[in-house]
Amino acid sequence: MWFSKPVPDVLQEMKVNADTGLSSAEAEKRTKQYGSNELLAKKKRTVLQVFAAQLNDWLIYVLFAAVFITFLMGEYIDAAIIVVVIILNAVIGVFQEIKAGNAIEALMKISSPKALVKRDGFTREVDSADLVPGDLVFLEAGRIIPADLRLTETANLQIDESALTGESVPETKEAHTVFTDPKTPIGDRTNMAFMSSLVTFGRGAGVVTAIGMQTELGHIAHLIEPGKGRKTPMELRLNELGKLLGKSAAGICIFIFVISYFQGRDPAEMFLTAVSLAVASIPEGLAAIVAVVLSVGVTAMSKKNAIIRRLPAVETLGSVNVICSDKTGTLTQNKMTVTQVFASACFTDLEDEKQEFAEAVRFLTTGMILCSDATLENGEQTGDPTEVALLMLADEIGLNRTEIASSYKRISEKAFDSDRKRMSVLVADENQQHFVFAKGALASLFEISTKFLIDGEILPLTDEEKKKFSAAAKEMSDHSLRTLALAYKPVTTDSSPENLETDLILVGMVGMSDPARAEVKPSIQQAKEAGIRTVMITGDHKNTAFSIARDLDIAQDFSEVLTGSEIDALTEEEFLEKVNYINVFARVSPQHKVKIVRTLKAKGNVVSMTGDGVNDAPSLTAADIGVAMGITGTDVAKGAADMILTDDDFSTIVKAIEEGRNIYGNIKKSVIFLLTCNLGEVLAMVPALLMGWSSPLIATQLLWINLITDSLPAIALGMDKGDKEVMKEAPRSLQESFFSRGAGLMTVSGGLFIGFITTFAFWYGHYEFGWSPFGTNVPEEVLGNARTLAFMVLIAAQLWFSLGLRSFRKPLYKTAVFSNRYLTGAIILGFALQLMVLLIPVMREAFRLQLPDLKGWMIIVVLGLLPLVMLEIYKTLFMKK
């Protein structure tokens, strides 16, 4: 009953020092004692269960029926081959599912939430799973509560506990409240914070009282039904395509069976052939291959600092044509350094090593660090980079931050919010004199200041003086400096909270530089070549924003810059008309960001949006691709995003778009290959049977083809290396199908040609021995030769054809032919297995094949290569654009 105990008693019982936190050794000891701070995950399926799930398919049931029938007919070898094919198909499916599952699991670990704790006297960020009872945890707006906490400190702290209590209104917390009633409901325990709830406002700290399954959430975790993984739009479309093709194939097979019956063929043999053709012609592996390619792709992206949280984002990435990016930390290095100070009507240049710092500068800096929640200890820092820069300023001018922290005690605060554009703190010094310090945008402090400080004297803040401050701010902005102002006032202990931000005394301001990242400008140019426009969104002044945008080649003219107030002055229609011509938005609020995104989308753009704060969540959700910052981003922003940048770098977004395009391209290759092969198999069988010929391929041969030439090369194409020229193409439309840009014609023509040459090989196998497939009583030796040639040509054609699909545009000689080792391996393995079937007598007998003569081998080699040659000619003539 931690809520019924005062804070000192809780700390004592938990054996933790409020000033230093737990030691690392003690934390390790408690980890062994209490375990990890994780809810019990849903039990993973065993390999055997995954294998059994692969057999739970109507196509497999049909094949088992075929096994049963062939066994009754005494065709034991055929039955054994079908069983082997079923098992091998299931093994490939198990491999795909486990690989995809492991990839997604690894990503979940990478993107797990962090917690800000104090250990060994230092504040540091750790994985929330590493928390132990007794840890001191710091809370701020946007953080998700990592465990159950007894609050020890609160400053206007509000927490959204709707996930636990159902109460939609955030709960105001008070650390020093104590409840004596042991039956106090969870929703009324205002001195507690519970795992998975969300800090919406203010700041606080607490000691961990329960972790994992011992938390209030853990008590109900077993009641929570695990949600099923969502399929991507691409997977859903492919599932629908698979069902349509399946129904078509089933219809064709029934038709063939009926026709064959009236033609007087052996019903049992034709049943097996029809079933095998259905299995071979239905691309049942499509969805599984897409899942593997997606999971492998997003794992590769995570290694490049882009964590995909929602798989549909991969599909959307290839269509992005506008990137809306924050300036600070994304386009710039996020290494804020104060280079100028304006106080007592004078500029102080901090880059001048001989500079002596006036008392006004020291007082300004003292006020700034009292308004800071960041930490900087032994080179390790936490918090907003802007506030870290203020701590570094204090060190640079020789202030003792430890002494200041011990001399002033923070009584209360009004946290920063995007509407006020400032934060205020109420502090008391050693003599119990109270002061209010407020830091924020200069315009925001103008609203609450009536005086200003100059050379130790307090004078009225007239319009003339405001102009001087504004001119100083503009001069800093013109040099690409970000400005932050400070105001203060002494107050009495009985001052009401409403009066804390009134009649303040303006002290001065600092100018901070944040250099652009070296890799950003080339990335913006690369995006431009790929048909992607970069839009900079910042809270900085118009001049600062344009100065950096011009350096980065985002904007060339001042007319391309629009401020938040200018947006407000425009009608919806005017803004809609103008939005495609604006490349820089300055002094904007989160509400403006949402409006910008929605208006860009209304103009037909596919928009990516970056954000890091609590208030950025709506714009991240509104965008087609929401991108959260992994370093400075709050848990709320990360939760709303589709993608997280672990390095907060703009160039990572461009790399992710490139990777997304390549992943989509690889999936398209696999899909086109599978459908071309399936169509070729159907067209090799159906016309021959309709003409009254013997079946060009028997059931076991069709199933072997389905296993060897369909699955392995399709998976290998999905693992292809990225096309280096993919970023020279225009963004793909979200409505674009797999069959656009000539791919549909390629599929149909490829399938027709493979079907034709297979049929020709079957005919030639008869002709070579002086027979015709139209004849009756064809000897088994002749039919065996014809089927051998058809079988070998079909497999060779499909294996070689896969090599040409590595690029839809570039001829094979312009690609590094063997750079995809997976595809090279699949082709070599395919031919090796085929030769094994042909050359080993037992296997040859099982598949009813014959050793071809020299002419037969020439037919196999020449016809097998023809589809690849025709594909290369097709690409050269029609796909160059």
Residue positions annotated with a catalytic role: 326
Query: In this structure, are residues 439 and 512 in contact, taking their beta carbons and an 8 Å threshold?
Result: no
Closest listed residue to residue 830, CA positions, set 801, 872, 870, 873: 801
SS3 212: helix
Closest listed residue to residue 834, CA positions, set 794, 869, 785: 794
Amino acid 633 reads G
Pairing of strands 148-160, 607-611: unpaired
Contacts 24+ apart (CB under 8 A), 415-424: 415/141, 415/155, 415/156, 415/201, 415/202, 415/203, 416/440, 417/201, 417/615, 418/589, 418/590, 418/613, 418/615, 419/589, 420/444, 421/539, 422/448, 422/501, 423/371, 424/371, 424/500, 424/501
CA distance linking residue 578 with residue 582, whole number of Å = 7
In the Cβ-directed half-sphere of 453, how many Cα atoms lie within 13 Å? 20
Q: Please state, as a whole number, how many other Cβ atoms lie within 10 Å of the Cβ of residue 844.
A: 17
Query: In this structure, are residues 259 and 690 in contact, taking their beta carbons and an 8 Å threshold?
Result: yes
CA distance linking residue 257 with residue 271, whole number of Å = 6
DSSP state of 545: H
319 phi and psi angles, rounded to 5 deg:
-105, -5
601 phi and psi angles, rounded to 5 deg:
-65, -35
In sequence order, the β-bridge partners of residue 608 are 323, 625
Closest listed residue to residue 191, CA positions, set 171, 166, 163: 171
What does 516-532 look like in DSSP terms, one character per residue?
A: BPTTHHHHHHHHHHTT-
Closest listed residue to residue 422, CA positions, set 489, 504, 484: 484
